Amino acid sequence: MELLQSAGSGSTRLHRDVGFWGMTAFSLGSIIGSGWLLGALTAASVAGAASLISWILAAFMLALLALVHAELGGAYFVAGGTARFPHFAFGSLTGFTGGWMSWLQAVPVAPIETEASLSYLAHISWVHSHVHILHTNGTLTGSGLILGTVFMVVFTIINLVGVRFLSNTNSIAVAWKTAIPLLTVVVLLTTTFHSSNFKAGGGFAPFGAHGIFAALPAGVVFALEGFEGAIQMAGEARKPRDIPRAVLTATGIGTVIYLLLEVAFIGALAPHNLLHGWASPVGAGDFGPFATLATVAGAGWLAATLYIDAVVSPAGAGLTYISESARLTYAMGKQRDLPTRLARTSLRGIPVTSVILAFVIGELCFLPFPSWQSLVGLITSANAIMYGFAPPSLHALRRRDPDRNRPYKIPWLRVTCPAAFVSANLIVYWSGWSADWKIAVALAVGYVLFTITRARIPAAERRPLSWRGSSWIWPWLGGLLIIDKLGQYGGTDLIPFWWDIVVVILFSIVVYIIAIHVALPSEKVASLIQEDEDEMALQSVPAQSSGPAMGGAPTTT
């Protein structure tokens, strides 16, 4: 009955029921998923012991992007923020492009986390003898697809019950997900640690700088990303100041955990496995590296715990990404970039149609991309592009909306924002041509849907596309694709190594400068923000309404 009522209502209001720890759990729950179970092995296979540098580099780059999102999330506390920030700063077409890239990276994560869970389950002896889940190449069998669907159904049901129940469920899962990696680090460091491994298999950096950079999209960035969980769910936050606090807290905790895990992983490897390099440091075809290491170390109880965690950690991340995917399509529906039905909410304040859409598309992701690793590069690239919209949006909004109350302000805006934009573009470049051309095709599909949606809206009601405001994204995304094709990561190698990085940095700075200068004028920015005042006018924090656009009465879009 509730679904029927929501379908017929025009409500687009979410319920603000989540506090600081709940918001932190959304971000941290997105960060700690299958990445900690599989990311250390993947990174070490690509970069050797120098994968530690890969994790440090990725942590620094993502920290810059997290700082940018923290300010934006506190100042503009709306659902699906990564779609809304570029919309406010550059107009409808740029907002849709940012939102579509956000959705592209979010919607496959629930199925990819499910696949990670099933990869571990397949190695439990009882499960292996009774259910054939994986093919020898790690892809899902028919039985695996059925089990994956069961996971997705459970995620969807929890999301439909209500945001408070979702937050409580996720918080419990995150507490477990944080404790188990730390326990694993302690056990491996104290029971089996070979310092010689950091020089084995060809030395500390057997694949050189190229391997260090290649490891980033191979699982390192995928593992560390996810801080934007609180940003996407900000429409249900009780207080705007909780959003930047949640983003920064989750980023710090996640970074420390992953660095410790990589140190423990490398040190726990059997030295004889590295005599001939890093191609198979744990064992060929092993999808449960930490559980294997725990067994070898004589900690069978930890191995059993890890198999349980292999269900909880990825499943918890899958749960949150169903939520984030739904809030992104909710945001694009509210902006009328996609059908407005996606922005309708149930009596519990849940965007039902958007949640169901996330489930359906997630199911489809099992088919063309059936293995964990095949999805990681695509998600990493799409995620970096999504992050790339934030730095110029923040800089533009600081200029066009200077009186906005900002619970958190990043230091050295003129340095931090361009550096964050460069970081996002480098991650896109390192993701490689094979991933990025597919993202370009997916973006083209998005524009077709956007065009169809606009055609169904009466001409008098259509929002301006703001062509000038979007003029920077075409040279940006097109230029990155060309550099990819000519570069060192799946391209033609025409641009020499190291020079390719210089080209990306200089190109990024030029695009960034252009973006700041073509942003919408202040009055237009104020108008677009005003349309969302009903979402940002919090009764619990009346003192926060010092900005010029915050002072008006709430309106209904």
pLDDT in the model for residue 67: 92
Tokens matching residue 245: 């606090």
- Contact call for residues 538 and 239 (beta carbons, < 8 A): yes
Both tokens of 13, joined, read 């209001």
Domain made up of 13-107+118-131+141-538: CATH architecture? Up-down Bundle (1.20)
Tokens at residue 530, please? 């005003």
The pLDDT-based confidence of 138 (bands split at 50, 70, 90) is low
Q: What is the pLDDT of residue 107?
A: 83
3-class state of residue 493 by DSSP: coil
Task: Report whether pLDDT(23) > 90.
Answer: no
Q: How confident is the model at residue 511 (pLDDT cuts 50, 70, 90)?
A: very high
Least reliable range by pLDDT among 158-162, 510-514, 516-520: 158-162
C-beta of residue 469 within 8 angstroms of C-beta of residue 460 = no
What pLDDT does residue 80 have? 81
Q: How many C-beta atoms surround the C-beta of residue 461 within 10 A? A: 7
The rounded distance, in Å, linking the Cα atoms of 108 and 324 is 11
Q: Identify the band that residue 223 occupies on the pLDDT scale cut at 50, 70 and 90.
A: confident
pLDDT at 35 over 50: yes
Give pLDDT tens digits for 40-95. Answer: 888 888 888 999 999 999 899 999 999 999 999 888 888 788 888 999 999 989 99
Q: What is the pLDDT of residue 97?
A: 92
Position 210 scores a pLDDT of 87
Q: What is the pLDDT averaged over residues 476-496?
A: 91
**Which of the two residues, 258 and 4, has the higher pLDDT score?**
258
CA angle 190/196/201 to nearest 5° reads: 125
| Range scoring the smallest mean pLDDT among 32-46, 48-62, 205-219, 220-234 | 32-46
Amino acid at 2: E
Q: Give residue-wise pLDDT tens across range 173-212.
A: 888 888 999 999 999 999 988 889 898 878 888 888 888 9
166 and 323 Cβ atoms separated by less than 8 Å: yes
Q: What is the pTM of this model?
A: 0.83
pLDDT of residue 130: 73
> Is-contact 449 338, C-beta < 8 A?
yes
Mean pLDDT computed over 532-557: 42
pLDDT score of 546 more than 50: no
The pLDDT value recorded for residue 2 is 41
Comparing 510 with 456, the larger pLDDT belongs to 510
pLDDT of residue 459: 79
Give the pLDDT confidence of 88-123 residue by residue, as tens digits.
999 989 999 998 888 888 888 888 778 777 876 776
Report the pLDDT value the prediction gives residue 377, as an integer from 0 to 100. 66
Nearest-angstrom CA–CA distance, 250 and 316:
15
72-81, 137-146, 293-302, 470-479 — which is least confidently predicted?
137-146
Residue 243 to residue 229: CA distance in whole angstroms: 10
Instruction: Write the pLDDT tens digit of every residue in 264-304.
Output: 999 988 888 888 888 778 865 555 688 888 888 888 888 88
Mean pLDDT, the chain, rounded, equals 82
For the residues 527-546, what does the mean pLDDT come to? Answer: 57
As a whole number of angstroms, the distance between CA 363 and CA 341 comes to 21
9 pLDDT higher than 70:
no
Structure tokens at 43: 């990174």
The mean pLDDT value for 385-395 works out to 94
Which residue matches tokens 């990025």?
436
Q: What is the pLDDT of residue 470?
A: 92
Question: For residue 540, is pLDDT > 50?
Answer: no
The residue ranking higher by pLDDT, 447 or 141, is: 447
Among residues of the chain, what percentage have pLDDT more than 70?
88
The structural domains of the chain, with segments of one domain joined by +, span 13-107+118-131+141-538
* DSSP classification of residue 217: I
- Residue 369 is predicted with a pLDDT of 54
DSSP string, 440-487: HHHHHHHHHHHHHHHHTS-GGGPPP--HHHHTTHHHHHHHHHHHHHHS
d(C-alpha 30, C-alpha 267), whole Å: 27
Distances (CA, A) of 313 to 223, 250, 305, 440: 12, 15, 12, 31
Residue scoring higher pLDDT (254 or 126): 254
For the cut 50, the answer to whether the pLDDT of residue 542 exceeds it is no
